[in-house]
Structure 1
Amino acid sequence: MSRVVVEARGLTVGWSGEPLLEKLDFEVASGDVFAILGGSGTGKSTLLRHLIGLEAPLGGTIEVNGEPPSLVGRPRHGVLFQSGALFGSMSLLENVVLPLRHWTDVREPERREIAAAKLRLVGLGGFEHYMPAEISGGMKKRAGIARALALDPELLFLDEPSAGLDPVTSSHLDDLILSLNQNLGVTIVIVTHELHSIFQVVSRCILLHRERRGIIATGDPRELARTSTDVRVREFFRSADAAGRHAGNAQ
C-alpha cells in the first residue's frame, strides 16, 4: 500500500475568518499525480497555499510527510507558482542556485553544477545564462520547475503550470511532468483547469464546487468524466472541454 504524503482531515480554509472551503477530507499517495480541480473562484489556489504552509487553516488539519506544513527549516517539497516567480535580475542558473545557497552547505562550484543539471533535466541545457526576460513563457515554467527540484524533493506542488501557454507548449510541459513522476518518482500535486492536461497526466483528483464549498467528486478524472451521475461533475468536464477547444481554435 502506498504511503500517504499529503493528508487533509476536516480541513476548512478561507480568508479573514470567512470559510471558502469547509470540512475537506482527502489524501495524496506517494507516486500520485494528484489534481485539485474546480471552476473559477472555487478556492483551488487558496487550498494550495494552505497545503504549502503559506496560510493557516481555519479548522481541521493538514499533514505533509506526517507533519503540519511549515515555512521553517529546509523545505521538503518544491513549488512552482503560476507565474513561474523567477527573479528577473538573476540568470536562470542563478535562480536555481538560490535554494541551494540558502539551504545547503554545498560549495559554490558544486551548486552551479547541480543547478545546471536541473536545467538540463527540464530541457533548458544551454540557457543557463539567459535572463527570464529573454525566454518564452513555457521556458519560464520549466525554469521554475528546475528551481523547485533544486533540493531533490519527493513532492512537487504546481499551480496552473499550463496557464497562458499555447496547446503545443502545454503538451510538452505535460510530458515533462509525466517524466518527472515516472522516472524520478516525484509525487505531484497540481492545480489546473486544462482538460487535456487533466486527462494526460493526472491519476487522481478532487473536484471542488463553489456553492457546495467543498469536494463533490474524488477519483480518476477520466472515470469521473465518463461515469459520474452528478450533473455538477458532468458540467465541469463539459465546460473544461469547451474552453480547451476554444483555446485551440484561437491559436
Structure 2
Amino acid sequence: MTQPNAPARRYFVPKGGLPPQSQLVTDRAMFTEAFAVIPRGVLSDIVTSALPFWDKTRFWVLARPLSGFAETFSQYIVEISPGGGSNRPETDPNAEGAIFVVEGTVEIALGGKTHSLTSGGFGYLPAGATWLVNAPDGAVFHWVRKRYIAVDGLPAPDAFFAQEQDIAPTEMPGTNGGWATTRFMDPTDLRHDMHVTIVTLMPGAVIPFDETHVMEHGLYVLQGKGVYHLNQKWVEVEAGDFMWLRAFCPQACYAGGPDPFRYLLYKDVNRHAALP
C-alpha cells in the first residue's frame, strides 16, 4: 500500500451555525472516567469562547486540564475572521504552543521574521516566546498549549515551522504503509516534552492492540472515519470529531470508508512522572 498523495490530504473545518429545532437531541457526545468524545455536531456557534487580546476571533475549546482526568494540555480550534489576530496571543509565560493550520493562511511574527503557514502548516512556539499572529483573509487552526516542563541541564527547544506536505510519513513496521505517522517533532530530541503528529490509517488498516500507556491524548479527526476501541467501548468517529483520553485509557482502532482515516494527535512525552 502507498501513502496518500498530496490531493488526498484534506482537513475537516467546522463551520459553526446552530442545529435546526427538528434535529434529534441524542448524538455521539460522550464523557466517561477514561475518555471523552466531542462529535463535530457539537461545534456550534453557542459553544464558542472569546479570549483577551484577540480580535475578530472565536475559539472552540476542545480540552482543558481537569483534576482527575487529563491534566497536561489544552486544545482549541481557532477561527480568525479576515483581518483578525492577536498582538498578545499567549498570556502564560510558561506555556508552549503548537499550531496546525487547516484552512487559509496564518502569519506568525517571531524573532523579527514573519512565517506564513498555509493549510497543512505547523508551528512550534516555545514557552516565553513573544509572537504575533494574524490572518488577513481569515484562517482556521488548531492550537495545542502545554505548560513546559524544564529539566536542569537540558536546554529548551527552539521555535520551528514546517508544512505537513514536506514531511515524509514514517511507516509502522510490518504494515506495508497501511499505518504511518507524520512527525513534526524529532522523537529523539528530549528537549521536547510533547509531540504533535498526524496518524494515517489507510482503509482497512488497524491499530491491532489496546495501547495502554502513560501519555494523555488529544485526537482530532482530520479526514475519513473509523471505529475506536476506548476502555472496552466501541465508538464510531468521523472527520471533525475530537477524542480526549486520559493516561492509561486502553485504545485501538481500525479505519473504515473509502478515504484514509487521519487524525491530529497530541501526547506528553520525555519526562519523569510528577511525584507529590
* TM-score for the superposition, normalised by structure 1: 0.33
| Bigger helix share | 1
| Bigger strand share | 2
Greater relative CO, 1 or 2 (CA 8 Å, sep 6+): 1
